[in-house]
A and B are shown apart, each in its own frame.
Chain A
């Protein structure tokens, strides 16, 4: 007996109920699809922010620096950084290198009772023009030329301090010897970082200026590198660490450690687990959506008890009855899931182009995520979500379907309803 056409005809007998059952599955499918697209967008954004502004695809530091980072251990530095850079430049895997100095500093404001703390980063502006895409984020002014004691300031910080291009910026900071020093710079430009936290508290100084302020001499706190292919960043980090030791750049007195970006920022590692977590959430959504389908199927079985008795008396086997009701539920699940991914695509695809502006929510947060997220439509994941929805919902629909086979034709025919 051809059950599929029969099942398809049966679900048209009560269109409203069919639509209602399918809607629950559609909403769960749409939600899960959006969540996956959103998390993919966040991962993409996070990768960009990390690789461009925070850690590159990997970071080289003195081996003891990380444990004491909260104490600003400037004396734990890379003293031979120019040689390290020259060596790594020749590595075909490396796309770019950025030497940096991280300096918590105070911006001196004459007459103010409270001075403003800033995060001063000493950078090589020539390298960072490409590394940080400085020209793309420059809002006003210009990027300081080599040898110029000019700085760039985040837009929020500039606004809060009332700074304009051309103003003198005097920074007070701890030095490598843990005493203090102050150096004056000139504000050359204002930049709009994609991350609210960076805009609020960051100043970019010329590397020589940061070395002067911290009295670090010709050394840096860290070297960031970007890879042509970041997919195996962790393995490459291990290999670079080995190479630096082999070449004598990392010694017992001056040990260097290399960490990949997922080792630098824990949130990045958690994002890798996000797909799994959302998959688990998805199963909960679908089970919840399936309760509608279960309820519907049970109602249908109850209403069609006499019909079940009739077809059973006419010779339909119990297994065929189960398959019939299962197919009815499965078709509803398929239609619902299909509707869900259409709805999801209708939401995700436009957002992939225009983005979701969460800047008001992320303002003031210290996480490395920008305020504008572009959810990513992924065909493979979309098909997987559809398949996941159909399978899970269908399996759950087996439960009420099996009840139908337990109904005895004799009793079913006597059923008054």
Chain B
């Protein structure tokens, strides 16, 4: 009797292992060309960010902001460095000289007619940039998603004819702007195709769709992005990047407050 139980137990163990192993291997995953296995959620995010996040960059572009009263255009130049720092300077006539500086711990606004640099904090972070669908809060947070979120692969989905990995991101702490995000990453190019951002109660707050991508020097990145604030009606913002230089040499102290008000 004793031996029968032992034998049965072994048989069950083998059977379970036999069927569970593929499941387990799929979760752990392996990458590598031609392996045919699905990458892990972490790998997807890592590869996506390798494409979209750069050590240094310089960009020029414009924002087309649409609301119930019509569409207006604002042009800008921007510089980014490391994972935290970026500077936007608006170059359209109406906003000429206006700047937004993002550093590790704060966002600062410079207006030519203001005698002081404005630090944005608290509830003011939820205000929109230039009245667009982008909030100052959207600009906060470290640029390494894996530091801020735990990730889970939900499966694959086709977006506008492109196969994508659908990845769910859940915040590890309350410091991030959005407790939950779902992003759709192109399975071939590892560039974001769509992103949805949610509140703690799972309410959709922001939608982002990538309308165009460009490949340059082996990196693929979005060049035309549509953002929509789900809490507002009849609005959208389209960001178009007309120029992107990666790995540029940035002026010294470009991300300092002194340079901001210069």
- Give chain A's interface residues, CB within 8 Å of chain B: 71, 73, 75, 106, 108, 110-115, 168, 170, 172, 174-175, 177-184, 212-213, 215
Give 18 CB contacts A-B under 8 Å. A71-B68, A108-B114, A113-B121, A113-B123, A114-B123, A114-B124, A170-B118, A178-B72, A179-B74, A179-B95, A179-B130, A180-B127, A180-B130, A181-B111, A182-B111, A182-B114, A183-B111, A183-B113
A182 to B74, CA, bound (A): 17
Of the candidates A71, A170, A172, which one forms a contact with B115 in the assembled complex, judged by CB atoms under 8 Å apart?
A170
Contact with A along B54-74 (1 / 0, CB 8 A): 000000000001011100101
Please tell me if the beta carbons of B122 and A170 are within 8 angstroms of each other in the complex.
Answer: no
Residue B22 at the chain A interface, CB threshold 8 Å? no
Can you list the 6 inter-chain pairs with the closest CB atoms, starting with the nearest? A113-B122, A184-B115, A182-B111, A179-B130, A178-B131, A182-B114
Please tell me if the beta carbons of B114 and A170 are within 8 angstroms of each other in the complex.
Answer: yes
Note all chain B residues with C-beta closer than 8 A to A215.
94
Note all chain A residues with C-beta closer than 8 A to B111.
181-183
Residue B119 at the chain A interface, CB threshold 8 Å? yes
Q: How far is the CB of B118 from chain A (nearest CB, A)?
A: 5
A181 to B74, CA, bound (A): 14
Note all chain A residues with C-beta closer than 8 A to B123.
113-115
A183 to B98, CA, bound (A): 12
Residue B116 at the chain A interface, CB threshold 8 Å? yes
Chain A residue at smallest Cβ distance from B111: A182
Contact A110 to B95, CB < 8 A, known contacts A178-B131, A179-B74: no
Note all chain B residues with C-beta closer than 8 A to A182.
109, 111, 113-114, 118
Q: How far is the CB of A68 from chain B (nearest CB, A)?
A: 9
Contact A183 to B122, CB < 8 A, known contacts A177-B72, A178-B69, A178-B72: no
A115 to B109, CA, bound (A): 14
Interface centre among A71, A172, A175, A177 (most CB of B within 10 A): A177
- Give chain B's interface residues, CB within 8 Å of chain A: 65, 67-69, 72, 74, 94-95, 98, 109, 111, 113-116, 118-119, 121-124, 127, 130-131
A115 to B131, CA, bound (A): 18
Please tell me if the beta carbons of B69 and A73 are within 8 angstroms of each other in the complex.
Answer: yes
Note all chain B residues with C-beta closer than 8 A to A168.
115-116
A174 to B130, CA, bound (A): 9
Chain A residue at smallest Cβ distance from B115: A184
A175 to B95, CA, bound (A): 10
Please tell me if the beta carbons of B94 and A183 are within 8 angstroms of each other in the complex.
Answer: no
Note all chain A residues with C-beta closer than 8 A to B114.
108, 170, 182-184
Contact A177 to B131, CB < 8 A, known contacts A182-B113, A182-B114, A183-B111: yes
Note all chain B residues with C-beta closer than 8 A to A213.
113
Note all chain B residues with C-beta closer than 8 A to A177.
72, 94, 131
Please tell me if the beta carbons of A75 and B109 are within 8 angstroms of each other in the complex.
Answer: no
Note all chain A residues with C-beta closer than 8 A to B65.
178-179
Of the candidates A110, A175, A183, which one forms a contact with B119 in the assembled complex, judged by CB atoms under 8 Å apart?
A110
Please tell me if the beta carbons of A112 and B113 are within 8 angstroms of each other in the complex.
Answer: no
Note all chain A residues with C-beta closer than 8 A to B116.
108, 110, 168, 170, 184
7 other A-B residue contacts (CB within 8 Å) besides A178-B67, A182-B109 = A177-B72, A178-B72, A179-B95, A183-B111, A183-B114, A184-B114, A184-B116
A172 to B72, CA, bound (A): 20
Chain A residue at smallest Cβ distance from B132: A179
Chain B residue at smallest Cβ distance from A215: B94
A168 to B114, CA, bound (A): 10
Note all chain B residues with C-beta closer than 8 A to A108.
114, 116, 118
Of the candidates B94, B113, B122, B130, which one forms a contact with A184 in the assembled complex, judged by CB atoms under 8 Å apart?
B113
Q: How far is the CB of B119 from chain A (nearest CB, A)?
A: 7
Chain B residue at smallest Cβ distance from A174: B131
Please tell me if the beta carbons of A115 and B94 are within 8 angstroms of each other in the complex.
Answer: no
A48 to B36, CA, bound (A): 81
Note all chain A residues with C-beta closer than 8 A to B72.
177-179
Please tell me if the beta carbons of B113 and A115 are within 8 angstroms of each other in the complex.
Answer: no
Q: How far is the CB of B69 from chain A (nearest CB, A)?
A: 7
Please tell me if the beta carbons of B69 and A75 are within 8 angstroms of each other in the complex.
Answer: yes
Note all chain B residues with C-beta closer than 8 A to A175.
94
Chain A residue at smallest Cβ distance from B122: A113
Interface centre among A179, A181, A183, A184 (most CB of B within 10 A): A179
A75 to B68, CA, bound (A): 12
Note all chain A residues with C-beta closer than 8 A to B131.
174, 177-180
Note all chain A residues with C-beta closer than 8 A to B109.
182
Chain B residue at smallest Cβ distance from A212: B113
A115 to B69, CA, bound (A): 27
Q: How far is the CB of A372 from chain B (nearest CB, A)?
A: 36
A177 to B111, CA, bound (A): 16
Note all chain A residues with C-beta closer than 8 A to B119.
110-111
Note all chain A residues with C-beta closer than 8 A to B124.
106, 114-115
A73 to B70, CA, bound (A): 12
A170 to B112, CA, bound (A): 12
Note all chain B residues with C-beta closer than 8 A to A112.
122
Note all chain B residues with C-beta closer than 8 A to A184.
113-116
Please tell me if the beta carbons of A181 and B118 are within 8 angstroms of each other in the complex.
Answer: no
Note all chain B residues with C-beta closer than 8 A to A170.
114-116, 118
A215 to B127, CA, bound (A): 19
